[in-house]
Amino acid sequence: MIFKLGVIVDFSDLVFQWGKGKDNFERCLEEIRETEERQKEISHRTNIYVSNIFGDLFVFSIDKIEDGSGYSLHIWDNSGSERIFLGSIKTEKNWEEAGKHLERYSLGEIKCHGCGNWVDKKDGIKGYCYAGRYCLGNEECKETYKESRKHFTTF
Ligand SMILES: [Zn+2]
């Protein structure tokens, strides 16, 4: 198969549907999953994307938190290799935070996974650990980076 398929969801639509209540949101997520399943009958290469206000696409996954208090949202760049957001969605503020990450990423920035500072996504990143990106601009960051690398065995 030389192509991959994908389901594209508009970020603001996702937030809008969430705002209409839990049952409605669950139905939407089910619809997305069903569409993805149908695509898998054609190609095993399929992704669920969210698009932001700039029209950029990001790979994402959203799962219910076990205690039912909200959702766990995970967003990567469109190749799935760079983690952009990982957090719980329980309030509208959480959605705003996730949306901010997508917007700033489109504008050229990423939040460092070590210290949490916003840095230039090309020049500001000095350390990579799978989907994690680290600026290594301070001791806290270097320490977190070192720890994260310990969890992966090197080849
Ligand atoms: Zn940092």
Q: Which of 46, 48, 40, 52 is nearest to 11 (CA)?
A: 52
- Cα(50) to centroid of ligand 1, in Å? 26
- Cα(22) to centroid of ligand 1, in Å? 36
Q: Interior CA angle at 109 toward 113 and 150, to 5°?
A: 20
Per-residue pLDDT tens digits for 34-87: 999 999 999 888 889 999 999 999 999 999 999 999 999 999 999 988 999 999
- Cα(101) to centroid of ligand 1, in Å? 15
Between residues 64 and 152, the one the model is more confident about: 64
- Cα(19) to centroid of ligand 1, in Å? 33
- pTM of the entire structure? 0.88
- Cα(146) to centroid of ligand 1, in Å? 12
pLDDT at residue 155 in the model:
45
Cβ partners under 8 Å of residue 43, min gap 6: 1, 3, 4, 5
- Cα(119) to centroid of ligand 1, in Å? 8
11-19 and 92-106 helices cross at what angle (nearest 10)?
180
- Cα(104) to centroid of ligand 1, in Å? 16
